[in-house]
Amino acid sequence: MATASTKYAILIVGPTAVGKTALSIQLAHLLDTEIISADSRQFYRELTIGTAKPTQDEMEGVKHHFIDSHSITSYYSAGDFERDVVKLLEEDIFKRKDVVIITGGSGLFVKALTDGLDEMPEAPLALREQLMKRLETEGLTPLANQLQQLDPVYASTADLQNSQRVIRALEVCLSTGLPFSEFHKKSKVQRSFNFIKIGIERPREELYERINQRMDLMLASGLEAEAQSLLQYRHHNALQTVGYKEIFDYLDGNYDYKTMVELLKRNSRRYAKRQMTWFKNQDDFRWFNAQDFDAIRAFIQASVHI
């Protein structure tokens, strides 16, 4: 068995609908290994259609971790994810495998693995309750606008459609008087394994068409009914995201079905753009066209020394 220093976590990142799942499964077969999901919504058992969670057929027998592992009623942070994944790798997977694939589009969760997270100050419970009440009564937009004023650096790359991220950042800003981004400056942690960082992309028009088609497929597969079944949980962080918020507003009568579909597609495209901005700013990813499997395989084989 190889030593710990010759263990490799292959990161596959990129925007929604770019093809991360299919590529990761293809690589997992090639490398005889397993996949860890770094998608912050596929953790949740109750969310299936709207998260583009791979089906058992699509997994093709490859073991996946951190899919259907939690309930939306539970708070699960990037710090929790970092701790749990490192433990899984060191105590289980890397005792059986030399390589693992980690894939997802949630930048903060990926960064938690590669860099570690700073110790964030605890905010007063009363402040969190106040912000959650504002979210419920005012919606996310005023909170996101406030975050942009208090910490434009963090807001420029953050997913401002994710209420959990917005509220956590506001908690820190308001309770410390300092920008949230000030707490993201420590040196990277040293892991007992190596990362191979791969980003995949497609031409913009091709990606946007894939997003539109995926949303049509989700709607045809019952996304509206899935969202309706989750109405009682709508204020949970996992549902304050693209793909569900738009349907909740439609069910509230805020606009018609056609507008809902247009917003679902538009907001998904905007989310993809924010994901690309995040990952492109992480300057040590090697970027490939999503369909260039031979080049990706060659890069991995040249990077792995086992």
Are 243 and 148 members of one domain?
A: no
User: Given a cut of 90, is residue 234 above it in pLDDT?
Assistant: no
Given this model, what pLDDT does residue 185 score?
Answer: 63
Comparing 168-172, 212-216, 252-256, the range with the smallest average pLDDT is 168-172
Q: Label residue 306 by pLDDT band (50, 70, 90).
A: low
Euclidean distance between CA atoms 47 and 15, whole angstroms = 19
Are 173 and 133 members of one domain?
A: yes
Domain span at residue 208 reads: 4-117+186-303
Are 210 and 255 members of one domain?
A: yes
Domain boundary among 183, 212, 231: 183
Are 19 and 113 members of one domain?
A: yes
Given this model, what pLDDT does residue 186 score?
Answer: 66
User: Given a cut of 90, is residue 51 above it in pLDDT?
Assistant: yes
Are 135 and 102 members of one domain?
A: no
Are 143 and 263 members of one domain?
A: no
Given this model, what pLDDT does residue 2 score?
Answer: 41
Average confidence score pLDDT of the chain: 91
User: Given a cut of 60, is residue 56 above it in pLDDT?
Assistant: yes
Are 278 and 258 members of one domain?
A: yes
Are 73 and 160 members of one domain?
A: no
User: Given a cut of 80, is residue 100 above it in pLDDT?
Assistant: yes
Q: 222-246 b/e with 16+ CB inside 10 Å = b?
A: ebbebbeebeebbebbbbbbbbbbb
User: Given a cut of 50, is residue 1 above it in pLDDT?
Assistant: no
Q: Please give the structure tokens belonging to residue 248.
A: 């909740």
> CA 298 → CA 27, 99, 100, 200, distances in Å?
12, 15, 17, 15
Number of domains the chain contains: 2
Euclidean distance between CA atoms 60 and 68, whole angstroms = 17
Q: Per-residue pLDDT tens for 235-273?
A: 777 787 899 999 999 999 999 999 999 999 999 999 999
Given this model, what pLDDT does residue 103 score?
Answer: 98
Domain boundary among 142, 162, 183: 183
Given this model, what pLDDT does residue 4 score?
Answer: 46
Are 98 and 139 members of one domain?
A: no
Euclidean distance between CA atoms 36 and 84, whole angstroms = 11
User: Given a cut of 80, is residue 184 above it in pLDDT?
Assistant: no
Are 222 and 90 members of one domain?
A: yes
Least Cα distance to 65 among 39, 35, 103 occurs for 35
What average pLDDT does the segment 115-142 reach? 84
Query: Tokens 């093809």 identify what position?
Result: 19
User: Given a cut of 50, is residue 90 above it in pLDDT?
Assistant: yes
Domain boundary among 152, 183, 214: 183
Given this model, what pLDDT does residue 145 score?
Answer: 95
Given this model, what pLDDT does residue 240 score?
Answer: 77
| Eight-class DSSP state of 178 | S
Q: One-letter amino acid identity for 93?
A: I
Euclidean distance between CA atoms 36 and 89, whole angstroms = 10
Least Cα distance to 38 among 49, 28, 55, 24 occurs for 24
Reported in sequence order, the residue ranges of the chain that DSSP labels E, i.e. its strands, are: 8-13, 35-37, 64-65, 99-103, 194-201, 286-289
Are 95 and 195 members of one domain?
A: yes
User: Given a cut of 60, is residue 74 above it in pLDDT?
Assistant: yes
Q: Is 64 helix (H, G, I), strand (E, B) or coil?
A: strand
Comparing 126-135, 226-235, 253-262, the range with the smallest average pLDDT is 126-135
List the CATH number of the domain containing 14.
Answer: 3.40.50.300
163 and 140 Cβ atoms separated by less than 8 Å: yes
Q: Percent of the chain scored above 70 by pLDDT?
A: 97
Bridge partner list, 65? 36
Are 199 and 165 members of one domain?
A: no
Start-to-end C-alpha separation, the chain: 9
